[in-house]
Structure 1
Amino acid sequence: MAPMEEARRSGIGEKYRLIGRITVLLVAGFVGTSLFAFFAARDSIRASIERDSLPAAAEYVHAALQKELLQPLFVSSMMANDTFLHDWVERGETDVDAVITYLSEIRNRYGAFTTFFVSDATSRYYQADGVLKVVKPDEARDGWYYRVRSMPEPYELNLDPDMAHGDVMTVFINYRVLDRYGDFLGAAGVGLAIESMNGIVEDLRLKHDTAAYCVDASGRVLIGSPYGVEATPTVSDDAALSRAARAAIADGGGSYRYRRGRDERLLLVKYLPELKWYLFVERTPSAAMSGANRALWLNLAFFTLVIAAVISLTAITIDRYQSRLERTASYDSLTGALNRMAFAVLCDHAVRDSRRSGTALSVAMFDVDDFKRINDARGHLAGDRILRLIVDGGRSGLRQCDSLCRWGGEEFIVALTACAADGAIAAADKFRASASALCSAEAGMVVTISAGVATLRPDETFESLVGRADDALLAAKRGGKNRTIAAESRVSAP
């Protein structure tokens, strides 16, 4: 009969622990390898962006700004040194239309957004469409003029709203105008609409997924905006950027990293001395990391399939070897019946179950009568065949829940669960009859079997129960063989 689950799978816990350890090692190895490759790729991409991409983008923007400012600087310098303007001021600025025409022609010839001249003698602000205003020292919007008036440099670049064009933000090139004696005559220059410079950084963003923006020394954002967000008036107003930006301005530029939400930003800051601006160029590695992310998930998916295949093959292999080992450890190799060790485990459980549930438990011991005569007359191979036939025939007369064991030599024992003394005698007789019938049919031999049965008593041990069944078997042998005797002194006819 099939043994109980505890005996049949006595090593199941060890099997799953082994599979668990193999799984942990494989997962740790595969995941560790994948993560190592991912982090190495991430660091390489970051380094490439910081070493190559951002500096190249900064050079591109710087060169584009210089190109954008080159002609306006030239035109402003030409205006500051133009003898027409000098002579017109010396003549007392009487012909206003002449200077307006002059400014208009320069604007149209060079495609400037605006042209202007502020006279120090009259404080008038001339531009291509007429006299705009009279500058005053106490007017906040005129502070730029008095700054230019006192500065030692020949010109400055300044970002201010253009009053003549509805306060559109404009980059003004303010050039000092000096006469032949070096006396200050006023300030002249041209203005560039900020949109033209914004086009440079927008082109960089669209083509290279990189943000660029210009910041002055006070932290005011002049052109562009950080990656993926609207620009704030100053970098200090941007909570995510402010710390890195302040450090960059204090350091005069450099490479930095900061976080905006869950995204990391790689930032390069370059000082532009001719503009006195700081060029901020930043990029998130997320887009560049998309390939590495995809490779990571593909690797993990592939490794999952490999691990599943390896674990499945391991489990199948272990099951096969475990089944062989269990059968070797639990079954008699000749007859296929349980061996004594496995039977003892089963009976220990059966005794506990019987006491817990209150059901009867009996055992029946069998011995082949005159088995030595069979070996001597037919040989040991014939004897072995008889033992196998007895097991096959006797098992057909037992219930599915009964367990058959080869006790030793030609002796067998059966554990009969939920079976009292009368049922045990009937089961033993059925076993004897079925086994003898199969031996006669298959081997052409008359084989008889003696049996002794015993039923478990309260507080009785398994060893004592088997001992009483063995005594009953001896009584059956002495009583003439080919019969069943119960330890409770009940006798079955031959």
Structure 2
Amino acid sequence: MVHNRYIIISNIMLIILLLIGFTLIELSSVQQYNTIVDQKIESDLYQTALTIESDLENSASVQLAVASYMAKDDTVRHWLENERYASTAAIIHYLAEKSKAFGYDRAFIISEESRDFYYDRGFLRRMNPNDPRDRWYDLFTRSGITSHVLINLDESNDYALSIFTDCRVEDKQGKLLGIIGIGKNLAPLWEIFDEKEKVLGQKIYITPVGEIRTSLNTSIGHYVLHEDLMEKLDIDEDLLENSTTGGTFSTIGNQRIFIKRIERFGWNIIVTQPDVSLIDTLLASFRTNSVYVVMLSVLLVLMSVLGMRRINRKLHQLENIDSQTGIPNQLLFSDQFKALNASEFLNPCSFFTLTVDDLDSISEDLGIAYQNAILNIVSDELMKITDQHGIIGRWERREYIGWLDMSPDNAYKLLLRLNLRLSERDKKIPIQVSIGITNARNNRNLPILAMQAERAMYRSIRNGSGLCTIYDPEIDGIVSIIAAD
């Protein structure tokens, strides 16, 4: 009886110790996971803002260049200098011609002398300094700047939300004659933003910063005024006013927020995404399961060994998941490779390595944050295209490695999509990878496979960026070099 009592007591103590240890380990694991999730959320927010900035910069820069060209046209200057005697039909025809030639929705001109507003279809109205709609004109002309970009309603096109670029027109002595500009409907760009929100689970806003950009006094679509954004997100005004071009992360409630300023246009890009936390869910689960644990104490003792093994495996995985990209490192990949069933090597299969081209030069030009963002993009796209087809891992700082359950030719077709998807992710700095593939059928020797694939990869690098090279181990040589983009 005494012996049995000691066994029962020791089992209960063991259960308690296991529960305490398991709880602490799980809490630590969740905290680590939360860190990884937080880094992933920040990376996603940053990349979305960067993409939006690039889209806006590209669109507005071309539009601004066209408006600047029109502002320097002698035809425009001559008409404004002789407006009283000049033909209005001539300037309307000029605006219509340029609008059609450059593919914009609207072209317009405003005379400083008469304050008459003409557009590519005729006379719109006379500007009124006491009309809030026309406040932007006086703010712009008094500012001394030669051009600017703003979002406003197009009165001549059913008040469609549009992006306008305005440029000063001056005579040869620098006297202001008026302004000329062009407008483009924002609906196509808004559709792109809507698609990003749907796919990424994010919210995208653009808000003006500065007096000149506030001619639109209402929030429409993704364009949101400060006061509306402060109410919607419960965000502090100082956070909006003190934004930087590098961007600022913030957490408000259950939302992660990234604010990035486009200094050139005086806009803030705000991207939000729900934050993720597992602590409360874990604690609630433990409270519920504790009753069953006590009732099944004997069963838990028998299962303790299995539980410890599970913990060890989970810890091993967590310790060997790359904290930056969220994919297995070299050690964990080696374990996963060894765990593959031998029968899988009897069927067509392949092994690959790839590296990000020009990563050092990108890091030197744009900084380590942009380099990390590129690595996250490559990892994210690589995980997507290889999902259900094999295993992947980080091999070196910039290299990736993987095993696929398909022939080298089919592996090439699959990995071809990687460069295509990467080229669509970042238009500002094209991302390319060089790839090496080898046949892994009947070969479970990881070092040899890695060496063969690396030989092919380095051949790709030597022959130019964005290439894919296939190595044939049966002839111990390179079979083919194929452009991967």
TM-score range, shorter chain: 0.5 to 0.7
Match of 1:98 among 86, 90, 98: 90
- 2:304 is equivalent to residue 312 of structure 1: no
Q: Does the alignment pair 1:276 with 2:276?
A: no
Asked if the contact 1:210/1:282 (under 8 Å) is kept, the reply is: yes
Q: Which residue number in structure 1 is paired with residue 248 of structure 2?
A: 255
Check the 8 A contact 1:100/1:130 in 2, yes or no: yes
RMSD, matched Cα: 4.0
Contact residue 241 and residue 258 of structure 1 kept, 8 A: no
Residues 84 and 308 of structure 1: CA distance in aligned 2, closer, same or farther (over 3 Å): farther
Aligned pairs for 1:297-446 within 5 A: 311-312=298-299
Give the structure 2 partner of residue 246 of structure 1: 238
Instruction: Confirm or deny: 8 A CA contact 2:93 2:120 kept in the other structure.
Output: yes
Q: 1:68·1:197 contact (CA, 8 Å) conserved in 2? A: no
- State the 1:249 CA deviation: 2.3
Residue 40 of structure 1 deviates from its aligned partner by: 0.7
Secondary structure (helix, strand or coil) at the match of 1:153 reads coil
In 2, the alpha carbon distance for the partners of 1:103 and 1:258 equals 48
Given the alignment of the two structures, is residue 75 of structure 1 paired with residue 66 of structure 2, yes or no?
yes
Q: 1:62 aligns with which of 34, 48, 53?
A: 53
| Distance apart, 1:255 and its partner CA | 2.8
Cα separation, 1, equivalents of 2:218 and 2:289: 48
C-alpha separation in 1, matches of 2:225 and 2:23: 46
In structure 2, what residue type is equivalent to 1:35? L
Once the two structures are superposed, residues 175-226 of structure 1 have per-residue CA deviations (whole angstroms, 9 ceiling, x without a partner) of 111122211110110112232332342243234333322111269886754x
Q: Give the distance between the partners of 1:143 and 1:190, measured in 2 at CA.
A: 18
Residue 33 of structure 1, CA deviation: 1.5
- Alignment partners' CA distance in 2, 1:172 and 1:154: 14
Is the Cα contact below 8 Å between 1:124 and 1:135 reproduced in 2? yes
TM-superposed deviation, 1:98 = 0.8
Equivalence map 1:451-466=2 (5 Å): none
Go from structure 1 to structure 2 and tell me whether the alpha carbon gap of 1:54 and 1:314 turns closer, same or farther (over 3 Å shift): closer
* Distance in 2 (alpha carbons) for counterparts of 1:142 and 1:168: 17
Cα distance in 1 for partners of 2:14, 2:282 equals 25
1:196 is matched with: 188
Q: Deviations over 1:79-114 (max 9, x none)?
A: 111111112223335311111111111111222121
After the TM superposition, which residues 218-233 of structure 1 pair with which residues of structure 2 at under 5 Å, given as runs?
Answer: 225=222, 233=225
With normalisation by structure 1, the TM-score equals 0.52
Superposed displacement of residue 62, structure 1: 0.8
User: How big is each residue's C-alpha offset from its partner over 1:311-340, in whole Å with a ceiling of 9 and x where there is no partner?
Assistant: 337599xxxxxxxxxxxxxxxxxxxxxxxx
| Residues 40-70 of structure 1: CA deviation (Å, up to 9, x unaligned) | 11112212332x3322222211111111112
Q: 1:312 to 1:61 in 2, by over 3 A?
A: same
8 Å contact from structure 1 (residues 38, 296) kept in 2: no
Given that 2:243 and 2:260 are in contact with CA atoms closer than 8 Å, whether structure 1 keeps it comes out as: no
Distance 1:166 1:240 in 2: 27
1:163 aligns to 2:155 (yes or no) = yes
Cα distance change, pair 199–314 in 1 and its aligned pair in 2 (3 A): closer
1:83 to 1:293, Cα distance in 2 relative to 1, 3 A: farther
Q: Which residue of 2 aligns with 1:87?
A: 78
Counterpart position of 2:365: none
CA distance in 2 between partners of 1:245 and 1:10 (Å)? 71
Equivalence for 1:215: 207
Check whether the contact 1:161–1:167 (CA below 8 A) recurs between aligned residues.
Answer: yes
| CA distance 1:26–1:281, change in 2 (3 Å) | same
Q: How far, CA to CA, are the matches of 2:242 and 2:72 in structure 1?
A: 37
CA distance in structure 2 between the partners assigned to 1:221 and 1:270 by the alignment: 21
Q: For 2:178, which of 182, 186, 190 is the aligned residue?
A: 186
Amino acid in structure 2 at the alignment position of 1:117: I
CA distance in 2, matches of 1:148, 1:139: 15
Give 1:119 deviation, angstroms: 0.8
**What is the distance in 2 between the residues matched to 1:78 and 1:314?**
81
Larger Rg: 1
The alignment partner of 1:57 has SS state of helix
> How many Å apart are 1:295 and its aligned residue?
11
Q: Cα distance 1:113–1:37, how it changes in 2: closer, same or farther (>3 A)?
A: same
Please state if 1:32 is matched with 2:24.
yes
- Kept in 1, the 8 Å contact 2:107–2:181? The answer is yes
* 1:324-367 per-position Cα deviation (integer Å, ceiling 9, x unaligned): xxxxxxxxxxxxxxxxxxxxxxxxxxxxxxxxxxxxxxxxxxxx
Whether the aligned pair in 2 keeps the contact of 1:201 and 1:224 (CA below 8 Å) is: no
Conservation of the 8 A alpha-carbon contact between 2:81 and 2:177: no
CA distance in 1, matches of 2:289, 2:33: 19
- Alignment CA distance shift 1:53-1:184 (3 Å): same
Number of equivalent positions: 296
Partner residue in 2 for 1:477: none
Match of 1:114 among 62, 82, 106: 106
Residues 89 and 238 of structure 1: is their aligned pair in 2 closer, same or farther, counting only changes over 3 Å? closer
Whole-Å separation in 1 of the counterparts to 2:300 and 2:137: 85
SS at match of 1:141: helix
Query: How many angstroms apart in 2 are the aligned matches of 1:21 and 1:142?
Result: 79
Q: Which amino acid aligns with 1:81?
A: K
